[in-house]
Amino acid sequence: MNMVTVPHPEAQLSDDLLRRLDVPGPRYTSYPTADRFVEAFGAAEYRQALRQRAQGAVVGGAPPLSLYVHIPFCESLCYYCACNKIITKHKSRGAEYLELLAQEVDLHTAMLGTHEPVSQLHLGGGSPTFLSDDELAGLMDRLRRSFRVLPNAEISIEVDPRTASRERLRALAAMGFNRVSFGVQDFDADVQAAVHRIQSYESVRDLIAEARALRFESINADLIYGLPRQTPESFRRTIAQVAELRPTRIALYAYAHLPQRFKPQRRIHAEDLPSVEQRIRMLGDALAGFLGNGYVYIGMDHFALPGDALAVAKRQGRLHRNFQGYTTQPDCDLIGLGVSSIGRVGATYSQNAKTLDEYRDALAVGEFPVVRGLALTRDDLLRRAVIMALMCQGRVEYESIEVAYLVNMRETFAAEFERLRPLAEAGLVEIGEQAIQVTATGWFFVRAIAMVFDRHLQADRQRERFSRII
């Protein structure tokens, strides 16, 4: 049996365990997950949540906000894409979209005022760098006039290396961006051709060097394994090249081939995809390669250099998780702006219209473009606390949950403790008298451990089992 020796933390992952790791599952950037949102939650409910936040701010001062702005445009289509995007070469579409964003911002400031503190701001897509420097600067100006962006705020942007240059990074730094994320995916020319995303190693190398020179506090590289024409040999080269470039963070995603659901993926030939064995090898090589090169495993496919804020937060038990993934920012309300954006205000989640037409129509009548969402129940809040403690601290102290939610952990989660047992026997988790503790090996499976506490998922499984029986 092949074993991957993972130097930090001390853990050994057999092929069998790696196979269990290479399965799709919720990423728990929220709980309940976005696929549970309902259409009964709309603009009126979102207004109510904002109103409550505004009242809270008057009474005791609400915590700072996180802002997410979705820029849906991309110039060309990557065949593996599962994002909400609009492919266009017409740069003029950016200006019209910015106008719509401004209207959405105004709807918010009409309810919240213009002094809401912001500690985190992220531009994602699509490709935010579809917009010109002037357009991006205009957007940042607008946001700064509408919110009080705090001096130490994390301000991040996703950068498509094909639409960036050293000058562009300098412009982004001047706009106040202090975190940057590059979509790398794979450096192999064959793989790049198969996914229709051509970008040279040299261009990414130069951009990362420039970002470092400009003192971006965090430089992330996204990679994907399981892409067409990828082989363990070719991916090992990419892993080595990326490790050598020393981005402060690396996100390694598994490609899920779902051509029925994501139309672009129909251009990928199934026969070009690596076998399960090859995927397992690539995952094992990536874990060993990055951890062997001094990266720390943060959790859920994320690695960071020991000096990066995420790694520091992990060591100090201060990790948090929101729609942008792991973060050092304490839980805060999130305002999602733009097509398909997701927000979290108080005990609610909300999502904007996914098409530009729907989004525009709502704004045209002065309404928030929220089309679905969820008001969390007490049970949702309780389970969210447990799932986030597992995902972020790798430990659930019974007392802290019991005091906060007035429950008895063992009684309330009797079935969950039962379901945890096989995971404990596999050495992934320890069920103690005072706490559930994720083990060093278990960190790699933290999603599977969290899934035990996902009521919606377990209900689905029971329904499936039931329908199989009948």
Q: Name the site residues for ligand SF4 (rule: CB under 6 A).
A: 74, 77-78, 81, 83, 85, 125-127, 160
Q: Least distance (Å) from ligand SF4 to the CB of residue 333?
A: 26
Q: Using DSSP bridges, classify how beta strands 334-337 and 65-71 pair: parallel, antiparallel or unpaired.
A: parallel
Beta carbon nearer to ligand SF4, 83 or 424 = 83
Amino acid at position 67, single letter: L
Tokens of 99: 């106008």
Helix or strand (DSSP H, E) at 320: strand 320-322
Q: Least distance (Å) from ligand SF4 to the CB of residue 170?
A: 22
* R_g of the chain, CA atoms, integer Å: 22
Distances (CA, A) of 398 to 268, 389, 436: 47, 11, 8
Q: Least distance (Å) from ligand SF4 to the CB of residue 126?
A: 5
Instruction: Give the closest residue to 25 by CA, choosing from 392, 463, 461.
Output: 461
Beta carbon nearer to ligand SF4, 222 or 331 = 222
Beta carbon nearer to ligand SF4, 160 or 301 = 160
| Distance of alpha carbon 10 from the chain centroid | 26
Instruction: Give the closest residue to 338 by CA, choosing from 364, 321, 323, 359.
Output: 359
Q: Least distance (Å) from ligand SF4 to the CB of residue 156?
A: 16
Amino acid at position 47, single letter: R
Q: Least distance (Å) from ligand SF4 to the CB of residue 192?
A: 12
Widest distance between CA atoms in the chain: 64
Q: Least distance (Å) from ligand SF4 to the CB of residue 97?
A: 15
Distance (Å, whole) CA 243 – CA 366: 49
Beta carbon nearer to ligand SF4, 32 or 72 = 72
Beta carbon nearer to ligand SF4, 81 or 363 = 81
Beta carbon nearer to ligand SF4, 111 or 256 = 256
Q: Would you say how long the chain is, in residues?
A: 470
